[in-house]
Structure 1
Amino acid sequence: MGFSISSADARALRLMAFDVDGVMTDGRLHYGPDGETLKVFHVHDGHGLKKLAASGVTLAIITGRDTPMVARRARELGIEHVIQGREDKAEALAALAASLGVSAEETGYVGDDEPDVGALRWARIAFAPANAQACAREAAGHITGARGGEGAVREICDALLTLRETP
């Protein structure tokens, strides 16, 4: 799927933040017999994230839930900036960017629902998965062909990497 992002904007990208439920996962919560919550992540997305980080983009996770599975997945992927339990994702994203010396024009965000709208509007480059809620799709401007948890993150990473390499 093609996105209408300029190669200059993609090359200027220094921080890319992702919501988890509905973006890195399919949004469903699975409860085990002892009440634990289980999340399913796609390995293709993980590989795309590693490639994007290797290109010099700092990765972050900003999520409203606070679960050990997110921290574990972030460690596996080498994502240092993990903000959990935050409902105001725009405030969290802006604060993280400021702490890293990154402007909104150098920031991207991926979200899928109402709590993500502020962050989607704040970031220069904003994406929503194909199955995101209408409010997130409208705020994002760039919609993936893939659904959350089913390759949307990889699609975004691959597109950004291609654009970063385009003169």
Structure 2
Amino acid sequence: MQISAVDAQNLRLMAFDVDGVMTDGRIYFTQEGEAIKVFHTLDGHGLKKLAASGVTLAIITGRNTPMVAKRAADLGIQHVIQGREDKGVALADLADQLGIAASETGYAGDDEPDVSALEWARLSFAPANAHECAKQAADHHTQRRGGEGAVREICDAILAQRGAA
């Protein structure tokens, strides 16, 4: 995946959906009915490297689960927006609060609720296994599937163009 060096250099905010991007999209339930998500360690390391390069990270998800807050805390991601179906509005609101323009914003999503955010952000990404509507809205597509290193692939592509790989 080749992204513009200018876009990578200008990037100040990168937001990610959870289900289907940071995870494989499957939700596991314990006997007690507790939902469990599986995150890939490659992705976590990529996110830490991207943050260290000066990019503010955010999570925007339609679901509301404690494990997302826990994963974000583990990675040092301070901006976590849960329970939001219109992710484009959520992303625009967050960017506005942070004083960041759409031209300085990136987003990764995999399904219909992500389309508005994918279209709003200057840099947009969809994993290999994203729904077709997200792939059409995204500027870039990963070779890896969501939950299987797609986030790391995105981070590495941005870092390579920022000279921080």
Structure 1 residue aligned with 2:23: 25
CA distance in 2, matches of 1:112, 1:40: 17
Coordinate RMSD, CA, aligned: 0.8
Structure 2 residue aligned with 1:154: 152
Structure 2 residue aligned with 1:51: 49
Question: Following TM superposition, by how much is the alpha carbon of 1:124 offset from its aligned partner in structure 2, in angstroms?
Answer: 0.1
- Residue identity opposite 1:72 in structure 2: K
Report SS of the residue matched to 1:98: helix
CA distance in 1, matches of 2:86, 2:129: 22
* Alignment gaps of 5+ in structure 1: none
CA distance in 2, matches of 1:58, 1:101: 12
* Alignment gaps of 5+ in structure 2: none
CA distance in 2, matches of 1:137, 1:163: 22
- Residue identity opposite 1:80 in structure 2: Q
Name which of 101, 118, 121 aligns with 1:120. Answer: 118
Question: Following TM superposition, by how much is the alpha carbon of 1:103 offset from its aligned partner in structure 2, in angstroms?
Answer: 0.3
CA distance in 1, matches of 2:23, 2:80: 16
CA distance in 2, matches of 1:28, 1:52: 26
> What TM-score, normalized by structure 1, do the two folds share?
0.97
CA distance in 1, matches of 2:60, 2:134: 15
> What TM-score, normalized by structure 2, do the two folds share?
0.98
- Write the deviation string for residues 20-52 of structure 1: whole angstroms up to 9, x where unpaired: 000000000000010000000000000000000
- Write the deviation string for residues 95-149 of structure 1: whole angstroms up to 9, x where unpaired: 0000000000000000000000000000000000000000000000200000000
Report SS of the residue matched to 1:61: strand
CA distance in 1, matches of 2:135, 2:86: 18
CA distance in 1, matches of 2:116, 2:44: 25
Aligned residues: 164
Identity rate, percent: 71
- Residue identity opposite 2:153 in structure 1: E
Question: Following TM superposition, by how much is the alpha carbon of 1:6 offset from its aligned partner in structure 2, in angstroms?
Answer: 1.3
CA distance in 2, matches of 1:35, 1:128: 30
CA distance in 2, matches of 1:104, 1:141: 14
Question: Following TM superposition, by how much is the alpha carbon of 1:165 offset from its aligned partner in structure 2, in angstroms?
Answer: 1.1
CA distance in 2, matches of 1:39, 1:69: 7
Name which of 131, 134, 139 aligns with 1:133. Answer: 131
Report SS of the residue matched to 1:99: helix
